[in-house]
């Protein structure tokens, strides 16, 4: 099964796993502690999934867009947003993440998606191109792990990331004021996995 098929199949029950809900909440709270969220901000959630982070941030910002490679995930997010009466613009991407992201944005967030992206330096350059001057990225993903987080490695390109590597890629893409901190520690099958939040400004 491809990575996209995996997420399409998982979409309708994704939010039933409490660990994912808690992780997304911790990331949203950490983003809000690092970037001043206002009703003036135009925000993109890259790899939005069912919108666990998207919908939590949506009420705190001016507008929000969710981009994802999985049509099933985007359908689930659309249903949730509709039920809540929260406007969310949706951007379908192709299987490797290509597509017009729109914008420019004032903030690009992403949670637990980077390890599914093969070419990270190219993604950071792309995100930079879709930001307004002074705009921020706030990117959360797994710290380097031993590969045990994913049972099925289809569509998984990185076993987490060394923080120094993420900071170097952000710097190479032209970001400044780069910081990285622990957003949360998530537990899966009795094992702890720490999750970083990296921020940087255009």
Ligand X SMILES: C[S@@+](CC[C@H](N)C(=O)[O-])C[C@H]1O[C@@H](n2cnc3c(N)ncnc32)[C@H](O)[C@@H]1O
| Contact set with ligand X (CB under 6 A) | 3, 7, 20, 24, 46-49, 52-53, 68-70, 73, 93, 96-97, 111-113, 116-117
Nearer to ligand X, 112 or 134 (CB): 112
Residues 140 and 112: beta-carbon distance below 8 Å: yes
For ligand X, which is the closer residue by CB, 32 or 96? Answer: 96
Query: Which phi and psi angles does 35 have, rounded to 5°?
Result: -125, 130
Q: Smallest gap, in angstroms, from Cβ of residue 108 to ligand X?
A: 12
Residue number with CB closer to ligand X (40 or 130): 130
Report in angstroms how near the CB of residue 42 gets to ligand X at its nearest.
18
* CB 136, min distance to ligand X, A: 17
Query: Which residue, 47 or 200, is less far from ligand X as judged by CB?
Result: 47
Residue 43 CB contacts under 8 Å (≥ 6 apart), including other chains: 57, 61, 62, 63, 64, 65, 105, 106, 107, 108, 109
CA–CA dist 32, 105 (Å, integer): 16
Element (H, E) at 181: strand 176-188
Q: What is the three-class DSSP state of 79?
A: helix
Question: Whole-number minimum distance, CB 48 to ligand X, in Å?
Answer: 6
Cα–Cα distance for residue pair 177/1, rounded to 1 Å: 40
- Residue 154 CB, shortest distance to ligand X, in Å, is 11
Task: Report the alpha-carbon angle 93-99-102, nearest 5.
Answer: 110
Q: Which residue is nearest to ligand X (CB)?
A: 49
Q: Whose Cβ is closer to ligand X: residue 177's or residue 191's?
A: 191
């Amino acid at each position: 099964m491809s990575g996209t098929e995996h997420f399409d199949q998982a979409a309708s029950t994704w939010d039933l796993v409490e660990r994912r809900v808690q992780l997304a909440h911790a990331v949203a709270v950490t983003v809000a502690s690092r970037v001043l969220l206002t009703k003036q901000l135009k925000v993109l959630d890259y790899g939005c999934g069912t919108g666990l982070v998207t919908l939590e941030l949506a009420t705190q910002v001016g507008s929000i867009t969710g981009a994802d490679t999985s049509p099933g995930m985007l359908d689930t997010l659309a249903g949730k947003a509709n039920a809540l009466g929260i406007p969310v613009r949706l951007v379908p991407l192709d299987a490797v993440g290509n597509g017009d992201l729109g914008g420019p944005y004032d903030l690009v967030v992403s949670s637990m998606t980077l390890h599914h992206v093969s070419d990270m330096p190219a993604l950071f350059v792309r995100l930079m191109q879709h930001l307004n001057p002074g705009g921020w990225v706030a990117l959360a993903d797994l710290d380097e792990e031993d590969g045990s987080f994913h049972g099925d490695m289809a569509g998984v390109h990185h076993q987490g990331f060394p923080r120094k590597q993420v900071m170097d890629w952000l710097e190479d893409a032209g970001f400044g004021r780069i910081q990285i901190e622990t957003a949360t520690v998530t537990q899966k099958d009795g094992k702890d996995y720490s999750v970083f939040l990296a921020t940087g400004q255009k």
